[in-house]
Amino acid sequence: MVNAFPIAQLGEPVLRQPATLIEDSQAPWVQSLIDRLLVTLHQSNGVGIAAPQVAQSHRLFVVASRPNPRYPNAPLMNPTAMLNPRLISHTEDTVRDWEGCLSIPGIRGLVPRYSAIEVEYQTREGELHQQILEGFVARIFQHELDHLNGVVFLDRLESVQDIITDQVYLQRLQTPTPQAQKSIGS
Ligand code: ZN
């Protein structure tokens, strides 16, 4: 049986450290770290989680996009482990949208991210994979890649006024503002 990890919270130094490269994707400790990340992500209802968020400072995260009220068109993808991920290229334009973080509970921030990116990562089977990511999945990737560099979404905000509480965020979902309507359509 695989147990979930406790999730590191903002203020814990591990969230501010650059994570180290994984040299052998097939090492048993790497495979078991992936399994525990998957269980932890599932239990926390997140769409992504990075190894530093469970106090394991290694370059690995899991992306698990699925449709939700704010992104009804988000692709449903099997949770995918990405090892030693890299951003190869990106669009010039950025899109601002709300993000939360399992390590920063209770608030959301309006974060600019590249709208489309080309990425490279190793799969848990050890294969090198390149692909283009857009929209919601591109956003998750950039959020999780930041975690591997000791960066959290708060660092990306253009203004502290772009922070709202979860409670207000959820209220806005029920009565969409023009901003929210715009992002749902994109
Ligand atoms: Zn996060």
Distance 45 CA to ligand 1 centre (A): 13
Domains in the chain, number:
1
**The CATH number of the domain where 61 resides is what?**
3.90.45.10
Per-residue tokens: 33: 């770290």
Integer Cα distance of 86 and 41 in angstroms: 21
Å from CA of 182 to ligand 1 middle: 24
**DSSP symbol at 126:** S
Asked whether residue 148 is domain-assigned, the answer is yes
Evaluate whether residue 8 is within a structural domain: no
In the reported structure, the alpha carbon of residue 15 is separated from the centroid of ligand 1 by a whole-number distance in angstroms of 9
**Domain range for residue 54?**
13-185
In the block, residue with structure tokens 């495979």: 31
102 CA → ligand 1 middle, Å: 6
Of the residues 12, 118, 144, 158, only one is catalytic, namely 144
Query: Annotated catalytic, 125?
Result: no
Residue with tokens 């203004």: 159
Cα–Cα distance list, 32 to 39, 116, 137 (Å):
11, 31, 24
Residue 6 domain-assigned (yes or no): no
DSSP state of 69: T
Q: Is 69 contained in some domain?
A: yes
Confidence grade of residue 106 (pLDDT, cut at 50, 70, 90): very high
Closest C-alpha to 59, from 9, 17, 115, 28 = 17
Distances (CA, A) of 45 to 68, 127, 160, 186: 11, 27, 26, 23
Q: In angstroms, what is the span from residue 186 Cα to ligand 1's centroid?
A: 22
Assigned domain for 72 exists: yes
The answer as to whether 159 is a domain residue is: yes
Our measurement of the distance from residue 47's CA atom to the centroid of its chain's CA atoms, rounded to an integer in Å, reads 7
For residue 91, report the distance from its CA to the centre of ligand 1, in Å: 22
Residue with the larger pLDDT of the pair 77 and 31: 31
Let me know if residue 118 belongs to a domain.
yes
Residues with Cβ within 5 Å of ion ligand 1? 101
**Does residue 5 form part of some domain?**
no
* Confidence class for position 66, pLDDT limits 50, 70, 90: confident
**pTM higher than the cut 0.85:** yes
* pLDDT tens for each residue of 35-50: 999 999 988 888 999 9
CA distance 101 to 7: 11
